[in-house]
Chains A and B, each alone.
Chain A
């Protein structure tokens, strides 16, 4: 059985789209802060053309659901809803942190810690176990001050803009500090589609209306009364 998936990722300053056909992936990727809205559909058109498929031949669509910039993850979710609605496609929500974790260069079954700069002096972070071609969340994804990050497991790689902003503090939170840190790692749609393929094969896809962002930060207002 062939699997054809489109994936988009706009949660950070990076904007990307990818098409997976079985094990082959084509991607367009650009670091373009605040331009995701203009770039994303032309990018989707470009990767579909590169892969030689049209939207109505897709089996599903995947998107980076966050955590990340609120507007960015909402654009990804909205675009996904629109395309999924139009062609009645099932949807896979792929965590931005899982996306980073997948990029870690470690041995199978080692733990990695992706962290994204969440502004307001906080980071979005999580611990993932990296297996051969998957990642598995250990515990839950959180938004916290770097000094409040609590890790009990041995982590062998740190990656993401959270490490770029708070490397020293995060190192101190680890059981043992690690040399394997990639501060400029950004989520890629090619990973989004690879992780989505598992959801597709495991029949864990959802309906368009459930293509929703994962914000983690829910304190967006201080009640006046």
Chain B
């Protein structure tokens, strides 16, 4: 069995083909990051316009790299949500029409479930259901208990900004580039004082929810208060990163205690942060898995992989309707 996966929910156009064992046969990824950088964030209409220019060339290249023709595919999976509606429509329309023309199943995939399942692709990780997952990206911050295919429980999520978003906004305020995460990490490293006096939001709250907008404001106020010398800026970046990392760590610890689970996957763009990785490796008696970075940011592989699981489990309904779900909840 060969499954082609298409991702186009935000600012990455991704295409991949995998076989029934979950082996990756080929993938192509195009990131629009430069397009949006000048605006300090993703511009939805521009994202849609870029997806439609890139998607067909990427599909062709992926097929060529896998040495396959479309007639050899058994199913087509695409991200149906959540995400930007116009961007989702591009991948969904191309995927659904291809499947319709070829007479093969189409499988709408939940973008966040794909993020949850992609660590399985690395079979050496020994990952098994159930496990905990901390998803930290530009659009999401959530703690999830993954029990099985299509069976996930959201234990906590951000009540305002996503972590990556907070990194991006703080970076913008400090006059750093976009994306902000790597810029802040780099600057924080230069901090000599290793300043660490910022509040840890909601850390004593019994829920597993997060909130980063207050911390963002606090950071801005500190920056305004300071003389804005470059050393001070590095100190502020450090303090901000420490506060974020500590908060995420504490909530994960709380979740581990609550659920008794001993495997934690930390995924999403923010998991690239070294400070965060070091901190999480301190968790005792817990198997902490960081999926390979290239699978953490949006990509077609995770969509193909998730589509494959649904195809193997025969969990899909045949339809010719093109549908997207911009606000699809993970828990249903």
Interface residues of A (CB under 8 A from B): 37-42, 44-45, 55, 70-71, 74-75, 77-83, 85-87, 208-209, 211-213, 215, 220-221, 223-225
CB A30 to nearest CB in B, in angstroms, measures 14
A85 to B321, CA, bound (A): 19
Instruction: Give the total number of A-B pairs whose CB atoms are below 8 A apart.
Output: 107
Instruction: Determine the main DSSP class of B at the interface with A.
Output: helix
B102's nearest neighbour on chain A, judged by CB, is A86
B52 at the interface (CB under 8 A from A): yes
The reply to whether A37 and B45 contact each other, CB–CB distance below 8 Å, is no
B48 with A70: CB separation less than 8 A:
yes
Write the nearest CB–CB distance from A210 to chain B, whole angstroms: 9
Assess the B57–A75 pair: CB atoms within 8 A: no
- B45, B49, B96, B101, most chain A CB atoms within 10 A: B101
Question: In whole Å, how far is A127's beta carbon from the nearest beta carbon of chain B?
Answer: 27
Which of B84-92, B160-168, B189-197 binds A?
A: B84-92
Interface band, chain B: 35 or more
Least CB separation from A72: chain B residue = B89
Chain A residue, CB-CB nearest to B63: A85
On whether the beta carbons of B43 and A220 are closer than 8 Å, the reply is: yes
Mind listing 5 A-B residue pairs with CB under 8 Å? A37-B322, A71-B86, A78-B90, A79-B322, A209-B57
Interface contact A213-B52, CB-CB below 8 Å: yes
A223 / chain B contacts, CB cutoff of 8 Å: 38-39
Cα separation A174 to B43 with both chains bound (whole Å): 38
Tell me if B85 and A71 are in contact (CB < 8 A): yes
Q: Would you call B324 and A37 a contact (CB within 8 A)?
A: yes
CB-defined contacts of B98 to chain A, threshold 8 Å: 82-83, 85-86
A38-B323 contact, Cβ under 8 Å, with A78-B52, A85-B56, A224-B40:
yes
- Chain A hits for B46, CB < 8 A: 220-221
Contact residue among B55, B85, B322, B324 (Cβ-Cβ distance under 8 Å from A41): B322
Nearest-Cβ distance from residue B72 to partner chain A, whole angstroms:
12
Q: Are B322's CB and A40's CB within 8 A?
A: yes
Q: Name B95's contact: one of A74, A82, A87 (CB within 8 Å).
A: A82
B93 partner residues in chain A, CB cutoff 8 A: 37, 74-75, 78-79, 82
Q: A39–B46 Cα gap in the complex (Å)?
A: 26
Q: A39 to chain B: which residues have CB within 8 Å? A: 321
- Separation in Å of the A218 CB from the closest CB of chain B? 9
